[in-house]
């Protein structure tokens, strides 16, 4: 019952509710799920029973085309909350952004940001994805990515990146851990047996077998939230913590099978390999965020074989 209410996600690209501290530069990136395979590497986790031995684990390949930095936004503090102080855009906004929003009117450029320096508490980049490089449609996703570090260094870094492209290798390194924020596979409207694992009743039970025998007592006079009920299953926003980056590469030929990836096709841009599984279907956008509770050990293992 920990994730009630189990409602549908508002957007296919989820919102990041928390940006951790402790790292300088952009704190996130956007990739597209490709699929899963197996990887063989030498276990270098301290204290592990298999430390120093070759092990095989499942892994997920994520396509990570460069992000276009189309603007920046600065926030101030007011009554313990962030207050939008202004958004500053590049002079030549890409046509696909204007096509997405016909009423788009860019505000003045970043040269007017100097008058707000004393009020700034947080700096974020406004980036646009390039789904056309992946085969995930033409419409870019637009989101904000926080820039870590002190306010002065974050503002300087954001101004340097304005109008350029950032690659996943500029944000993360091999061996680092990331948090994956995504939307899970949708399974539609399901009953309580599939949704909550309720036991199927005996063969001669009255009215129904795939249901809850009693939905509550006489008192209280309502159905409590702890009673399993039918409803939406899947397509939920979820966060998975501490997924280790095993490989980051700019050569897609090293990861593509001859027949292409199932329900994805060929990887054509930068990619990364994550240890374990992640939420969602192929071609689903995922937000890779700096870890909120990182482990101490962050060293890349020696990869002996990546099955493709």
Neighbours of 304 (CB within 10 A): 12
pLDDT digits (tens, 9 = 90+) for 66-95: 999 999 999 999 999 999 988 888 888 888
Which residues, 6 or more positions from 133, have their beta carbon under 8 angstroms from its beta carbon?
65, 268, 269
> 298 pLDDT band (50/70/90 cuts)?
confident
Angle value at C-alpha 142, between 124 and 111, nearest 5 degrees: 45
Summarised one tens digit per residue, pLDDT across range 106-165 is: 665 556 787 788 899 999 999 999 999 999 988 899 999 999 999 999 999 999 999 999
Rounded to whole angstroms, how far apart are CA atoms 87 and 108?
8
- Mean pLDDT lowest for which of 108-122, 165-179, 215-229? 108-122
Average pLDDT over every residue of 286-302: 94
Q: How many CA atoms lie within 13 A of 144 on its CB side?
A: 19
Which of 33-42, 88-97, 237-246, 264-273 has the least mean pLDDT?
A: 88-97
């Amino acid at each position: 019952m920990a994730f009630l209410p189990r409602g549908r996600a508002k957007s296919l690209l989820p919102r990041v509710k928390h940006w951790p501290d402790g790292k300088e530069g952009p704190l996130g990136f956007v990739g597209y799920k490709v699929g899963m395979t197996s990887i063989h590497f030498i276990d270098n986790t301290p204290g592990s029973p298999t430390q120093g031995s070759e092990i095989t684990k499942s892994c997920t390949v994520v396509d990570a085309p460069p992000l276009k930095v189309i603007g920046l936004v600065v926030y101030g503090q007011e009554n313990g909350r962030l207050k939008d102080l202004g958004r500053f855009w590049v002079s030549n906004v890409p046509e696909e952004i204007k096509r997405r929003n016909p009423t788009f009117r860019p505000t003045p450029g970043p040269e007017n940001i100097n008058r707000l320096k004393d009020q700034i508490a947080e700096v974020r980049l406004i980036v646009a994805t390039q789904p056309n490089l992946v085969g995930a449609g033409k419409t870019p996703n637009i989101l904000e990515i926080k820039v870590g570090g002190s306010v002065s260094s974050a503002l300087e870094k954001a101004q340097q990146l304005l109008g350029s492209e950032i690659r996943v290798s500029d944000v993360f390194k091999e061996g680092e851990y990331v948090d994956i924020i995504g939307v899970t596979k949708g399974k539609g409207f399901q009953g309580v047996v599939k949704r909550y694992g309720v036991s199927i009743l005996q063969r001669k039970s009255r009215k129904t077998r795939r249901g809850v025998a009693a939905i509550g007592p006489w008192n209280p006079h309502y159905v409590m939230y702890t009673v399993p009920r039918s409803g939406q299953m899947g397509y939920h926003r979820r966060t998975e913590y501490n997924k280790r980056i095993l490989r980051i590469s700019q050569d897609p030929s090293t990861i593509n099978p001859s027949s292409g990836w199932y329900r994805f096709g060929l990887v054509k841009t930068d990619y990364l390999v994550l240890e374990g599984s992640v939420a969602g279907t192929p071609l689903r956008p995922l937000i890779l965020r700096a870890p909120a509770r990182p482990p101490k050990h962050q060293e890349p293992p020696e990869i002996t074989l990546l099955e493709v």
